[in-house]
Amino acid sequence: MAGTFTTRTINITTGSTETLHDLTNACSAFLREVAHGRNGLLNVFTPHATSGLAVIETGAGSDNDLLAALRDFLPADDRWQGRHGSPDRSSAHMLPALVPPHATLPVVDGELELGTSQSVVLVSTDRDNPERHVRLSFLS
């Protein structure tokens, strides 16, 4: 039986602050529509130079901890050689080196196979770009 591939882009408004946006429900809804109980892989990708994707626990403070750690690792100051827009934006261009712009996740019986406390999140530290795109692709 030949495999199938289905893909869709969703749009996310992240606003003008550093943020984590939970994509877990959007991923699950996409799989309910396209996976039909099959096993496969869900690839999540964001085509932006200043955002990434993480699989972490949310709601218990870990989301704020991740943003605080990124502020420590990538301070928004003038140390960066790259010049991209506003002076504090250059550090956001380093984000994908620490939080990659992609994640590939197992799908079992049509459902996202995450741990009990895991969520899929879009990470954005770029306050100059409030609109993001995320591509969801299912391969079975």
Residue 110, CB-side half-sphere exposure with 13 Å CA sphere: 9
Chain CA centroid to CA 100, Å: 8
pLDDT bin (cut points 50, 70, 90) of residue 1 is very low
> What is the mean pLDDT of the segment spanning 15-35?
95
pLDDT for 108: 98
Share of the chain above pLDDT 70, in %: 92
Q: Identify the pLDDT of residue 88.
A: 61
Asked if the model's pLDDT at residue 97 lies above 80, the reply is yes
How far is it, in rounded angstroms, from Cα 54 to Cα 99?
6
Q: Into how many domains does the chain fold?
A: 1
Give the chain's mean pLDDT: 90
Range of the domain at 98: 5-139
pLDDT digits (tens, 9 = 90+) for 72-88: 988 877 776 766 666 56
Instruction: Please report the pLDDT score of residue 46 as a whole number.
Output: 97
CATH of the domain at 129: 2.60.120.460
